[in-house]
Structure 1
């Protein structure tokens, strides 16, 4: 059973997320709160596999909560919840250790899949916010020489894969576009992450953006 913690200051959002996730037989929402203050305490108590944190809350922001979680001996995988307008908090969330970004109105099936992916050690990046996330943290020089050097180590097929990762596509969706099996795509993604030194798909997307693969 995948245990999930939700922190969002909007009751309606928390209720919607809980309802969606509880409909999956392998997911249980074990804790929730309306601010970031109690997130670490709840994580210690309930030991969730995944935490969904609102990136901005009225009484505290999700970044502080993320920092607290990352200090735990066995921190959960964390995805930040955001609206379409990704803001200045994104850069810090990535630096601290967020494994992804999801829209609050993510489709139910995509939300459930994202939680499963996070629990397996993956990273998630909603296609609708992918470009905004990478452009927010592009540090000005989008075609930076270090990123180009990393990308030069990839094969043509690996470049295709990392470009689609940068657009927020899942392994299954990449496989459909490139006419490859999901297992084959998973192998390509693992190879790409290893070659460019990225810890997860979000970091790979940043390299793709900085290297000029994503417009």
Structure 2
């Protein structure tokens, strides 16, 4: 059954969120999410790769034999990642230096090749573009939320070093959430990433359970109103 654009967007951003549900791409998710800026930078780069690779694979899907599709996917994704990496090196050298090896490692991110296999190879260009954008935004959401949590707890700030992403205009964006805060080292270390991700997954599960209860209660309320 063909999915609507709304369903594709909802699945990518929330219902099947890469970081909170599918748990794909955990290596960059946990390693780079020690601040909002780092998470946002890698998230936007991954979103661009997902969008361009999905569109490219959807365009050539009728020309690629199923037996060789995986090597073709990897080659297309590698070309897109190389272009994005060179662009970041040229225009965002500070952020490029901070993110380091995790930019070229987008090639091996399971969510990128997973969307190519599960969606782009089977659907048209428009829907593949929306799927790539939605999946990337969902991954960016996970990175930014985890980065915000770790940055607040670890350093007491938000948008620290924003100039790495926004240039000189970003120097005034840093918010000092907690004054005279000495920091919580565990939050910015690897164990803090695992703990923070677990907390965010738990919060999402609670929100989803609450939404399901509300949806299940609506028919009962409507029936009572009709009977009254």
Under a length normalisation based on structure 1, what TM-score does the superposition of the two structures give?
Answer: 0.25
User: Which one has a bigger Cα radius of gyration?
Assistant: 2
Greater relative contact order: 1 or 2 (C-alpha under 8 angstroms, separation 6 or more)?
A: 2
Q: Which has the higher strand share?
A: 1
